Amino acid sequence: MTVASDVKTCLASLKSAQASLEQFALSTQDQNAKNVFTQAASQTQQIVDQIAQRVQQLEQEEPQYKDF
């Protein structure tokens, strides 16, 4: 695997984790748990945004990895 494909796999996993955290927040009745899940989802979204920027950078530097 290339670095680009590893980073894209990481990004997909992070997006999945973030979606799960949002779902947990919606499905719980415990307000404290809801706050924890919401905060974790928000932090994960920030990381997703950073990794997505890195993917774009990799694709600009190495066009052969675009849509890989």
pLDDT tens figures, 18-52: 999 999 999 999 999 999 999 999 999 999 999 99
Examine the pLDDT at 67 and tell me if it is beyond 80.
no
Ordered by start, the domain boundaries in the chain are 3-65
Please give the biggest Cα pair distance in the chain. Answer: 48
User: What's the one-letter identity of residue 7?
Assistant: V
* Tokens read off for 55: 């993917």
* Tokens read off for 15: 């997006």
pLDDT at 63: 74
- Of the candidates 45, 46, 59, which has an alpha carbon nearest to the alpha carbon of residue 15? 45
- Please enumerate in sequence order all residues whose Cβ is within 8 A of that of 54, keeping only pairs 6 or more positions apart, or say none: 7
Examine the pLDDT at 68 and tell me if it is beyond 60.
no
